[in-house]
């Protein structure tokens, strides 16, 4: 991958650096590659290493050998590579959207993760999960062995439709589909609605994995400065002139700021969007962590131009994956075909049956009520822990486990994250969330991952 050298053979590293030079257009289509001897001398590797690297790049379709004339960059190499990580070759890996994801998903043994995006297992309804699994072991055979219907478990879909109805969002069954995850829901929508080169609006700061996903779709990303009450409307209005196709946002408990959309901004935003071919994707991932419900674009709009997506990884289990999309029936039908083509069938019946059982139990609402109180305590504690370091919250969230904080004058949170990583503490530096790189003094903390005193001491050490 096109970043600072990582473990790998000499050939791996040479292939990566050549790939980067091609991606960065330093070597353009039709260009003759350096001679094998010449490059070997230049890169201080053996000629056989260069030969192997050229062979690999040929196998990737980036180079073409011409008998007697050497290797040439192909026209195919001109097309932007779909390799997500190859799309910003000059970017340091630790500000790459993948850095926090990969570090959090594959931590070193004993790593502490105040930068990660989920709660420890003992904050989740573990007992309800276990009883659901025991019940599942007695379920009828088809649940254990068959593919899911193309739109996923009907009983879980009915349950989600009922929850929408509680919000005065009356949907027909053909307006809701289940997906393998909220991330996959977002990806399916991008595949349906976006073409390479389209303009897409996101919040700045915003969820870094959306930025990674959008890069893989080769679209132009425009960041809207996020105020505590929602996106900056002047920036939104200006961006509309660029004909954006999508706007991806969280209304409730926005990631990373924890802010919540105000009714006034919600209303003005929909009014400004009227008449523009803009679709809004409202991500409900954190909705169940809200103590009281707040305004939703999907509800105000009635799902005309808004698509609602969500999942259960943050509130119930990240191990049992399932997401959903609610929207216009004709879009759901096309998205269902896309899901069949790319995943064949809806999400695992084993997974959806576990979720359905946990959600259907009254215990889940009691669990949420306790969780809201516990999270409020943890947020207060985190604010108190960080204050002595001169780290202050940008806004006090109404719920959830994120705290978006400002560091003291002169602090570069990217450097702090690098230094903390050396102490095996994984932080989430602000610019990972900021397409405009305007969050160098900010950091997202997960208040449920800060109980170990080593977090604060590592943070303190990394700052000094």
Q: Which residues in the 191-210 window bind a copy of itself by CB under 8 A?
A: 191-196, 198, 209
The least CB distance from residue 310 to a copy of itself, in Å, is: 14
Rg of the chain on CA atoms, in Å: 24
- Binding of a copy of itself by 121 (CB under 8 A): yes
Please, which residue, 98 or 407, has the CB nearer to a copy of itself? 98
The Cα–Cα gap between 298 and 223 comes to 21
Q: To 10 degrees, what angle do helices 362-386 and 349-360 make?
A: 90
Task: Select from 163-171, 277-285, 295-303, 442-450 the region that touches a copy of itself (CB under 8 A).
Answer: 277-285
Residue from 39, 84, 222, 421 touching a copy of itself (CB under 8 A): that is 84
- Binding of a copy of itself by 44 (CB under 8 A): no
* DSSP collapsed to 3 states, the chain: CCCCCCCCCHHHHHHHHHHHHHHCCCCCCCCECCCHHHHHHHHCCCHHHHHHHHHHHHHCCCEEEECCCEEEECCHHHCCCCCHHHCCCCCCHHHCHHHHHHHHHCCCCCCECCCCCCCCHHHCCHHHHHHHHHHHCCCCHHHHHCCCCCCCCHHHHHHHHHHHHHCCCCCCHHHEEEECCHHHHHHHHHHHHCCCCCEEEEEECCCHHHHHHHHHCCCEEEEEEEECCEECHHHHHHHHCCCCCEEEECCCCCCCCCCCCCHHHHHHHHHHHCCCCCEEEEECCCHHHCCCCCCCHHHHHCCCCEEEEEECCCCCCCCCCCEEEECCHHHHHHHHHHHHHHHCCCCCHHHHHHHHHHHHCHHHHHHHHHHHHHHHHHHHHHHHHHHHHCCEECCCCCCCCEEEEECCCCCCHHHHHHHHHHCCECCEEHHHHCCCCCCCCEEEEEHHHCCCHHHHHHHHHHHC
- Binding of a copy of itself by 330 (CB under 8 A): yes
Binding mask 233-272 for a copy of itself (x = CB under 8 A): ------------x---------------------------
The least CB distance from residue 228 to a copy of itself, in Å, is: 27
Please, which residue, 311 or 393, has the CB nearer to a copy of itself? 311
**How many residues touch a copy of itself (CB under 8 A)?**
102
**What residues contact residue 69 under an 8 Å CB cut-off, 6+ apart?**
32
Please, which residue, 102 or 406, has the CB nearer to a copy of itself? 102
Please, which residue, 151 or 296, has the CB nearer to a copy of itself? 151
**Cα 155 to the center of its chain, rounded Å:** 28
**What residues contact residue 2 under an 8 Å CB cut-off, 6+ apart?**
16, 19, 20, 23, 85, 86, 88, 89
- Binding of a copy of itself by 69 (CB under 8 A): no
Please, which residue, 133 or 383, has the CB nearer to a copy of itself? 133
Please, which residue, 84 or 160, has the CB nearer to a copy of itself? 84
Residue from 24, 26, 79, 396 touching a copy of itself (CB under 8 A): that is 79
Looking only at residues 282 through 321 of this chain, which bind a copy of itself when binding is defined by CB under 8 A? 304-305, 313, 317-321
Task: Select from 82-90, 165-173, 360-368, 395-403 the region that touches a copy of itself (CB under 8 A).
Answer: 82-90
Residue from 32, 263, 344, 396 touching a copy of itself (CB under 8 A): that is 344
- Binding of a copy of itself by 280 (CB under 8 A): no
Task: Select from 37-45, 53-61, 286-294, 379-387 the region that touches a copy of itself (CB under 8 A).
Answer: 53-61
- Binding of a copy of itself by 70 (CB under 8 A): no
- Binding of a copy of itself by 279 (CB under 8 A): yes
- Binding of a copy of itself by 181 (CB under 8 A): yes
Please, which residue, 149 or 461, has the CB nearer to a copy of itself? 149
Residue from 126, 167, 237, 452 touching a copy of itself (CB under 8 A): that is 126
- Binding of a copy of itself by 4 (CB under 8 A): no
**What residues contact residue 85 under an 8 Å CB cut-off, 6+ apart?**
1, 2, 3, 96, 98
Please, which residue, 191 or 406, has the CB nearer to a copy of itself? 191
- Binding of a copy of itself by 35 (CB under 8 A): no
Token pair listed for 77 = 């190499």
Task: Select from 137-145, 288-296, 422-430, 436-444 the region that touches a copy of itself (CB under 8 A).
Answer: 137-145
The least CB distance from residue 281 to a copy of itself, in Å, is: 13
Query: 396 and 183 in contact (C-beta within 8 Å)?
Result: no
Which residues, in sequence order, are bridge partners of residue 391?
none
The least CB distance from residue 319 to a copy of itself, in Å, is: 4
Residue from 200, 351, 386, 425 touching a copy of itself (CB under 8 A): that is 351
- Binding of a copy of itself by 58 (CB under 8 A): yes
Token pair listed for 194 = 């976006």
Looking only at residues 402 through 461 of this chain, which bind a copy of itself when binding is defined by CB under 8 A? none
The least CB distance from residue 356 to a copy of itself, in Å, is: 14
- Binding of a copy of itself by 118 (CB under 8 A): yes
- Binding of a copy of itself by 371 (CB under 8 A): no
């Amino acid at each position: 991958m096109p970043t600072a050298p990582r473990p790998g053979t000499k050939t791996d590293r040479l292939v990566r650096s050549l790939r980067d030079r091609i991606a960065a257009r330093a070597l353009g289509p039709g260009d003759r590659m350096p001679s094998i001897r010449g490059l070997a001398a230049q890169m201080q590797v053996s000629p056989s290493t260069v030969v192997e690297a050229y062979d690999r790049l040929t196998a990737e379709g980036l180079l073409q050998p011409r008998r007697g004339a050497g290797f040439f960059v192909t026209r195919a190499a001109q097309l932007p590579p779909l390799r997500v990580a190859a799309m910003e070759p000059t970017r340091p890996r630790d500000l790459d959207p993948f850095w926090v994801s990969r570090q959090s998903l594959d931590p070193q043994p004993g790593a502490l993760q105040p930068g990660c995006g989920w709660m420890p297992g003992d904050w989740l309804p573990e007992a309800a999960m276990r009883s659901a699994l025991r019940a599942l072991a007695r379920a009828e055979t088809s649940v254990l062995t068959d593919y899911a219907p193309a739109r996923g478990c009907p009983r879980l879909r009915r349950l989600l439709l009922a929850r929408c109805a509680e919000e005065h969002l009356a949907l027909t069954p053909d307006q809701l589909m289940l997906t393998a995850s909220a991330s996959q829901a977002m990806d399916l929508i991008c595949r349906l609605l976006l073409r390479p080169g389209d303009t897409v609006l996101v919040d700045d700061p915003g969820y870094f994995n959306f930025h990674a996903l959008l890069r893989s779709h080769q679209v132009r990303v425009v960041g809207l400065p996020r105020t505590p009450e929602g996106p900056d409307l002047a920036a939104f209005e200006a961006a509309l002139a660029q004909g954006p196709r999508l706007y991806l946002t969280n209304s409730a408990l926005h990631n990373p700021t924890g802010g919540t959309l105000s009714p006034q901004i919600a209303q003005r935003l929909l009014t400004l969007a009227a008449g523009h071919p803009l679709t809004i994707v409202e991500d409900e991932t954190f909705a169940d962590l809200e103590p009281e419900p707040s305004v939703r674009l999907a509800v105000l709009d009635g799902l005309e131009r808004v698509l609602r997506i969500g999942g259960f990884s943050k509130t119930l289990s990240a191990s049992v994956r399932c997401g959903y999309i609610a929207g216009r029936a004709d879009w759901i039908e096309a998205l269902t075909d896309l899901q069949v083509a790319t995943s064949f069938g809806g999400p695992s019946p084993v997974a959806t049956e576990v979720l359905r059982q946990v959600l259907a139990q009254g215990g889940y609402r009691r669990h949420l009520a306790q969780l809201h109180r516990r999270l409020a305590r943890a947020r207060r504690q985190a604010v108190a822990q960080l204050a002595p370091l001169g780290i202050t919250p940008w806004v006090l969230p109404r719920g959830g486990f994120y705290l978006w904080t400002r560091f003291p004058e002169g602090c570069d949170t990217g450097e702090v994250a690098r230094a903390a990583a050396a102490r095996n503490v994984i932080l989430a530096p602000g610019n990972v969330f900021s397409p405009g790189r305007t969050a160098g003094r900010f950091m997202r903390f997960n208040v449920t991952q800060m109980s170990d005193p080593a977090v604060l001491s590592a943070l303190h050490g990394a700052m000094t």
